Structure 1
Amino acid sequence: MSDSPHTDTGRQTALSVRGLEIGLPAGMERAHAVTGISFDLVRGKILCIIGESGSGKSVTANAIMGLLPKAISVLSGEIRLGEAEIVGMAPDALRALRGRAVSMIFQDPLSALNPLMTVGAQIDEVMAAHGVGTRATRRGRSLELLAEVGLPDPTRMIHRYPFQLSGGQRQRVMIAMALALEPTVLLADEPTTALDVTTQAQILTLIRDIQRRKGMSIVFVTHDFGVVAEIADTVVVMEKGYIVEQGTAEQVLKSPRHPYTRRLIAAVPHLTGTDRVPLAVADTEPVLVCEGLVKTYGGGKSLFGKSLLGKSLFGKLLTGKQNSVRAVDGVSFSLKPGRTLGIVGESGSGKSSLGRLLTRLLESDGGRILFEGRDVARMSEAEFRPLRPKIQMIFQDPFASLNPRTTIGTSLTVGPVAHGMPAATAAEEARALLSHVGLDAGAFDRYPHEFSGGQRQRIGIARALMFKPKVLVADEAVSALDVSIQAQILALLDRIQRETGVAMIFITHDLRVASQICDEIAVMQKGRVVELGPPSQIFLNPRSAYTRELVAAIPGG
């Protein structure tokens, strides 16, 4: 199959893109977001657009929806949706098409949903905006849609707000809204990136099932070839605004021709099932021991008489039966220098709460945290402050954790200087660390918005290393990164650990990633560790039924 668009005139196309060129504002690293791209979406099929950040895949999806920001414009080309030409279409005509002919599922449903409106009101709004039905019929349709996307108890769910739902439930609400007017084309922009493996598998199955039942045509934007293997009929591979390869999913996955495609496929993490060779370190005594750690959320009342609980407790909010729950329930483990313990589990399993307890960003309700033999869980903040530099955290979203108003140099040096390091020494060490994590010397004087996601994560790692910590807690540190950038960050963490002997707690929902970097893996479910062992046990011979479910849900597995 050639790299040109489909030319079989006997096969109808739901969407046709021809010679599309989209310009970028002056001063960007390149002049065009996409250049001369052409492809067809066959009716009733799923087309995956795959590429790294900056490849132009999301810009293409937004152009099809007519949702490009004002700073970005279509310079030339055609986007034909059935018989309608999107490029140059009047705003009123575009609004009439959105929802009816083409709908979109966004990557972050929490940002895309209105936090002040109930789920039912937001689905109703989609239909009301197009003058569809009466209030009563729209309510009935909303209930049907919530049931269709697999949400429990639609009559109760329709009255809930987005913050009361889990990530997977919010994504199902977004799908319900997108289906409200029975569009012929559905655009899904990275709809499963932030979801755990079991929820991701459920959403992929749901999208594929809806597509088959309704004969819908879908453009699925992703950076994960594991997802492509699960769902795609045809694939378009994009690099820096160009299409470098396209064809059937089988052809692209099994016989990729372009070097870029081969690199992307090679970068996808796979379950190794092989245990890491232990790092030789001088000190073999555990640096961190956790004994029976407990954290309970809830118990307080809001103005509305419900518990003010975290997102992981959405089930309790929905039922209203309890107002407290143990997010971390009797967790115990030990960690030696130079070793990495993976914490895996679904959303709501308690893994991020555990990470925050270990760094004292949360206070525990019971149990002990022994750091170098001292119980830090019972220390006052004043007692713990001298030890805080030795237990550092790498956050999931480095952009949110960096101050946008200060330079990278300031972000790296302010903590050490506050703990007594001379400013000149701190600046010298910060520059050396930036170089060590693969950034140039000029990064010191630049601001967070000037860096890519992968570069910001390198900055987050450098900031954590400024204190020469004994323990690093990495909370979903690579979950939002492209597979190739993800592989680079994993290699960087491995190299740093081998050079410094630092112990790591690696929290992730991606079991493939955990198998690459962890010496031991703790599987958490509802606050408890249900299985603890080396990768060979967890992935090849899991003892817990829950672990077996997680392994079976891995995309492309």
Structure 2
Amino acid sequence: MDDATMLPSLAQGVSRRRAGPRVDPRALGRENSTMTATTETASPQDLALSVHDLTISLPPGMERPYAVEDVSFQLERGKILCIIGESGSGKSVTANALMGFLPRPIKITSGAIHLESMSIVGMPAEQLRSLRGRVVSMIFQDPLSALNPLMTVGEQITEVLLAHGVGTKQSRRVRAVELLTEVGLPDPQLMYHQYPFRLSGGQRQRVMIAMALALEPAVLIADEPTTALDVTTQAQILKLIRDIQRRKGMSVMFITHDFGVVAEIADSVVVMEKGRIVEQGDADQVLKSPSHPYTRRLLAAVPHLTGEDRSRTEEAAAPVLKVENLVKTYRSGGVLFGKKRVVPAVNDISFEVAPGRTLGVVGESGSGKTSLGRLLIKLLDSDSGKILFEGRDIAGLREPEFRALRPSIQMIFQDPFASLNPRSTIGHILTVGPVAHGTPYSRARDEAKALLAHVGLDAGAFDRYPHEFSGGQRQRIGIARALMFKPKLLIADEAVSALDVSIQAQILQLLEQIQRETGVSMIFITHDLRVASQICDEIVVMQKGRIVEYGPPSQIFLSPQSAYTRELVAAIPGERPDLAVPGALDSSAVAETPKGRKP
């Protein structure tokens, strides 16, 4: 898709979606400048946040001397500013600087930050702490590392209120349940007592959003808040943030790598590349007529629904994987601890995957997608049913019997932070598995370095630790680790959800290239239907543990049989009925074509 075709599409989505106040029109039309300053005309009293010439240094030995350099932007009251850029562009570092969360080796070397007219650079820690949650709050990118594993969800939300002396114990609990309801979590009363490990990735992200909104702060910093969410929940969360922003006059700094989200929510946009701002302006202007080549490249990389089946010429062969009537039910609680809870995570599921083909598994958070992936790789034991891998039923195999097959079935996990050992270097993480299965270390090391380069990381990554990488970079490491074994079946659980659009496109191309070269079969679990339409031969749509639709992309996206599938397609950000993009799906046509080919 060329830039000229791509740019009007998202811009039209922006122009249709806003009903609120607009950015000063004097900021428009400055197409000859790559640094259009939308906030130059704003007076100080109209600003919730202003950043001037901010420079943050990195420790010696990193790939560049500064995380951000000479960054300046302003956030007007009651507006939404989106900061967009690739992984490692400095978006999250900027947000952490505003919250006072920078680690010790990373320091602000120059510049000023004013929050609600208060200068926060050099502010005492106790004074800064009193502002967090009340004046400024943050939704973190990685919910698992941000939530306390030893506290229930309810305790963590009420802790925010308690820290600022808000309400009584009873009223804080009522408020916590209200917030859990507001962000769309099922059974909020029961969810209040759950621990983070019991929740899916998307559910944990919603808990983080509830915590950030607990005191309805003046400024909300949202660092990739919808990355782990399915499209329907993403639409709900974007609407929730917009509603609270308009009702309370809240200002939002929204960090994202998804231009579809920008088209839905932004008033103004800042584009960052390698620590510098390369373009900023009104959202309409940046999406309609971006002046910088980097912005145009990002826009061109945005995936769109195609509704086209992938062409295959191979003859039919015996499936690599065949699943028959697979069942997994979670049970918790009991007489001593209250009401017993029974959740059918995977309910009588059957499908098959042919050699060299990709099966997509899509659905909302909590639909059973990740549980299915863990059953297939035997990180969970199934209750009943068969998992036939190359004709052999592995469902009932004990771990010692299955261990020899593990190199042939690999998984790219949804949460890269939790799946990487924080005490091991990246080199050790990539090589320890192959070495344990008999590969000489020198060969494993060379293959690891080659794979790191293949997924877009420099050679120096081999000797560094996971905490030294951004969320998207950690996901690339997880992909490289899975590919070290040259598997026959690759299960990708949200493998590109944490990646910016340009790296996402590269990883999808990489997976397709590896599939062509090795014939590996893939199960691609994702909440992004745009990605699924581009890489999958067939798609399974799951809802509450069951398959509600099963077929090729042309059926799923052009003639869906299930109302649930139509709802998923209609909720995709940036996909509008009026977008005349070649190959992109008209979501209005989906809503009007309920009848489709039965699976």
TM superposition shift of 1:495: 0.5
Local SS of the residue matching 2:243: helix
Answer whether contact 2:205 2:228 (CA < 8 A) is retained.
no
Which residue in 2 is equivalent to 1:537? 555
Q: Identify the range of structure 1 (540-549 vs 16-25) with the bigger mean alpha-carbon deviation.
A: 16-25
Aligned partner of 1:344 among 356, 362, 373: 362
Match of 2:589 in 1: none
CA contact (8 A) 1:47 1:232 kept: yes
Unaligned runs of 5+ in 1: 307-319
2:542 equivalent to 1:524? yes
Residue among 75, 80, 95 paired with 2:129: 95
Say whether residues 1:8 and 2:26 are aligned partners: no
Q: Report the Cα distance in structure 2 between the residues aligned to 1:426 and 1:90, rounded to whole angstroms.
A: 49
CA contact (8 A) 1:295 1:329 kept: yes
Q: After superposition, give the CA deviation of every residue in 1:260-316 in whole Å (9 maximum; x if it has no partner).
A: 1111112222111111111x4467232222121222222x6579536xxxxxxxxxx
**Aligned equivalent of 1:73, options 107, 130, 145:** 107
Match in the other structure for 2:65:
31
1:106 aligned to 2:140? yes
**Which deviates more from structure 2 when the two are superposed, residues 547-556 or residues 404-413?**
404-413
Coordinate RMSD, CA, aligned: 3.2
CA contact (8 A) 1:281 1:501 kept: no
* 1:209 maps onto 2:227 in alignment: no
Answering whether residue 119 of structure 2 is matched by residue 57 of structure 1, we say no
| TM-fit CA distance, 1:421 | 5.3
Is the alpha carbon distance of 1:13 and 1:144 closer, same or farther for their aligned partners in structure 2, counting shifts above 3 Å? same
Matches within 5 A, 1:302-341: 305=337, 320=339, 322-341=340-359
Following TM superposition, by how much is the alpha carbon of 1:523 offset from its aligned partner in structure 2, in angstroms?
0.7
Structure 1 residues 339 and 38, CA gap change in structure 2 (3 angstroms): same
- TM-aligned CA distance change 1:374 to 1:151, over 3 Å: closer
Q: Distance in 2 between matches of 1:169 and 1:432?
A: 36
Kindly tell me: are residues 257 and 154 of structure 1, through their superposed partners in 2, closer, same or farther at Cα, counting changes over 3 Å?
same
2:378 aligned counterpart, secondary structure: coil
Q: Which stretch shows the higher mean deviation, 440-449 or 65-74?
A: 440-449
Counterpart CA distance in 1 for 2:207 and 2:432 is 42
Choose from 507, 529, 532 the match for 2:525.
507
1:348-370 Cα deviation digits (max 9, x unpaired): 21222222222233222222222
- SS state at 1:253 partner: helix
Superimposed CA distance per residue, residues 128-168 of structure 1 (whole angstroms, 9 cap, x where no aligned partner): 43344555665565566556556677666655555565555
CA contact (8 A) 1:281 1:337 kept: no
* Distance (whole Å) between structure 2 residues aligned to residue 61 and residue 31 of structure 1: 19
The 3 A distance-change label for structure 1 pair 236 and 525 is same
Amino acid at match of 1:85: S
The number of residue pairs the alignment matches comes to: 541
Does the aligned pair in 1 maintain the 2:87–2:473 contact within 8 Å?
no
> Which amino acid is the alignment partner of residue 295 of structure 1?
K
Partner of 2:323: 290
- Given that 2:455 and 2:476 are in contact with CA atoms closer than 8 Å, whether structure 1 keeps it comes out as yes
User: What's the offset of the Cα at 1:347?
Assistant: 1.8
Instruction: State yes or no: 1:361 paired with 2:379.
Output: yes
State the distance in 1 between where 2:418 and 2:173 align: 38
1:479 is paired with a residue whose SS is: coil
Offset of 1:244 from its aligned partner? 0.8
CA distance in 1, matches of 2:152, 2:565: 35
Residue 196 of structure 1: which of 230, 235, 243 is its match? 230
C-alpha displacement at 1:223, in angstroms?
A: 1.4
What is the letter of the counterpart of residue 328 of structure 2?
K
Q: Give the percent of matched residue pairs that are identical in Structure 1 and Structure 2.
A: 74
Q: Which residue of 1 aligns with 2:394?
A: 376
Query: Is residue 184–residue 233 contact of structure 2 (8 Å, CA) maintained in 1?
Result: no
Give the drift of 1:388: 3.5
Q: CA shift at 1:99, angstroms?
A: 3.0
Are 1:187 and 2:205 matched, yes or no? no
Contact 2:537 2:553 in 1 (8 A): yes
Report if the CA contact (8 A) 1:281-1:338 is conserved.
no
1:316 corresponds in structure 2 to none
| Residue 258 of structure 1: aligned partner | 292
Q: Per the alignment, do residues 288 and 141 of structure 1 end up closer, same or farther by CA in structure 2, a change over 3 Å counting?
A: closer
CA pair 465-140 structure 1, distance change in 2 beyond 3 A: closer
Letter matched to residue 370 of structure 2:
S
Q: Residue 433 of structure 1: CA displacement?
A: 5.8
Which range moved further: 450-459 or 83-92?
450-459
Structure 2 unaligned regions, length at least 5: 1-27, 31-35, 576-599
Residue in structure 2 matched with residue 226 of structure 1 by the alignment:
260
Aligned to 2:22: none
Distance 1:409 1:492, change over 3 A: same
- The aligned runs of 1:92-171 (5 Å cut-off) are 92-132=126-166, 161-163=195-197, 170-171=204-205
Q: CA deviation at 1:213?
A: 1.2
How big is the shift at 1:344? 1.0
Aligned to 2:114, the other structure's residue is in SS state strand
Taking structure 1 as the reference length, the TM-score comes to 0.86
Retained in 2: the 8 A contact 1:289–1:371?
A: yes
Shift of 1:489: 0.9
Q: Give the deviation of 1:464 after TM superposition.
A: 3.8
Q: Give the stretch that moved more between structures: 197-206 or 126-135.
A: 126-135
Q: Matches of 2:442 and 2:188 in 1, distance apart?
A: 61
In structure 2, relative to structure 1, the CA distance for the partners of 1:540 and 1:428 (3 Å cut) is same
Inter-CA distance 182–402: structure 2 relative to 1 (3 Å threshold):
closer
- Please name the residue that 1:47 is paired with: 81
8 A Cα contact 1:5 1:38, kept in partner:
no
* Partner secondary structure for residue 377 of structure 1: coil
The residue aligned with 2:407 is 389
Alpha-carbon distance change, 176 to 254 in structure 1, aligned in 2, over 3 angstroms:
same
| Counterpart residue number, 1:470 | 488
Provide closer, same or farther for how the CA distance between residues 44 and 371 of structure 1 changes in structure 2, counting only shifts above 3 A: same
SS in structure 2 of the partner of residue 323 of structure 1: strand
The separation in 2 between residues aligned to 1:459 and 1:383, in whole angstroms, is 28
